[in-house]
Structure formats: structure tokens, C-alpha cells
Amino acid sequence: MEGIVLLTNNKTFLKITGEHNENKIIMSEGLINRIKNLEERTAICDKSEISKLAYLLKDEHEEKEIDILAALGINKHEILKGVQCPSCNGEMRRHRKSWECKDCKCRNQEAHKKALEDYALLFSPYIENHAAREFLLVESIDVVKRILINLNSCKTGGKKFRSYQIPLSPLK
């Protein structure tokens, strides 16, 4: 990769001092020649090399893990727990296989999904039953087990320390 500074105003007068490389700065009329020079002295990859390079980049790619709370200086305990009402943002309670808003009384069977997504983005893409109970503010192991199983996602670990991957909605 090579960087150059291109000056398009041909009335520009430039005086270069110090250790700056004057070859890095060109006027617009010199651009075509500069590109030809670059092509001549730059080794160009053939199709198979480009393909190898593409696979190598794809294989070596890793998602950058960011501790978003640490990056923003937010304490884990400052994060509000519970399930939010999609209509009024009020607190929801689990009630008969659904969620009911304490404020507007609206009901929603899937309101926990947004809360779990928040958990995935803030803490971990995997969650165990005890952590889900704590985060969703639900006491029952069985209720939370049903919620997690119904996510229909990958599971890891044995029966006792089973973690469920939290599915994320596609970016909008």
C-alpha cells in the first residue's frame, strides 16, 4: 500500500522543508505517470495467490472481543435487570407463560428475547439458568429452563452447568 498526497489546484505553490518526502506529494497532472510507475514496480498477484490470500484472511479472522462495560466505565451492578415492556418500557413480570407489564398491563410472550439480547451484548453470548433467572428476575428454575430451551440455540456444558447461546437479531 502506498499513500500519496494529490494537489488538484495547479496554482498551488508548495515549499517542502525538513525531512518530508517530496515524492509523496504530486500535482494532478502527474497522477497518471505515478500510477503507471507503481504498476511497473509492484508485484501483482495472480488469481490463485489472491484466492489463497482471501482464504487465509477468512480463516484467520477473529471477532474482536470488547468488554463494553469496562470500555465505557460502567459497573456491572449499574445495569438494570428484568424484562422491559415493548410498549411503555415498564417492568414486566412473568405470568402464565407470558410477560405482563406492571404499568400498562400489556402482555407479550417474547419480551424476554430483547432482555437476553442485551445480556449477550453486555456480558456474554452464552447464559446459564442461574444467570438468566437473576437477569430476567424470575425465580423458577423450570420456567427459565423452558425459556432457554425455546431459544432453540446451541447448548454447551453438561446438565448441571448448561449454557445456552443467545440468538441475536440481525442488525438493522
Q: List interacting residues with Zn ion (CB under 5 A).
A: 85, 87-88, 90, 101, 103-104
Q: Judging by DSSP bridges, how do beta strands 91-95 and 163-165 pair with one another?
A: unpaired
What letters, b where the CB count within 10 A reaches 16 and e where it falls short, cover 35-65? eeeeeeeeeeeeeeeeeeeeeeeeeeeeeee
Smallest gap, in angstroms, from Cβ of residue 111 to Zn ion? 10
Smallest gap, in angstroms, from Cβ of residue 48 to Zn ion? 59
Smallest gap, in angstroms, from Cβ of residue 7 to Zn ion? 60
Gap between the Cα atoms of 163 and 157, Å rounded = 6
Gap between the Cα atoms of 73 and 84, Å rounded = 24
Smallest gap, in angstroms, from Cβ of residue 133 to Zn ion? 22
Best CA proximity match to 132, nearest among 102, 155, 112, 108: 112
Closest to Zn ion by CB, 107 vs 145, is 107
Residues 6+ apart with CB under 8 A from 81: 134, 135, 136, 137
Closest to Zn ion by CB, 27 vs 104, is 104
Closest to Zn ion by CB, 99 vs 119, is 99
As given in the structure block, the three cell numbers for residue 65 are: 472481543
Residues 6+ apart with CB under 8 A from 2: 38
Closest to Zn ion by CB, 103 vs 110, is 103
Closest to Zn ion by CB, 87 vs 165, is 87
Smallest gap, in angstroms, from Cβ of residue 127 to Zn ion? 24
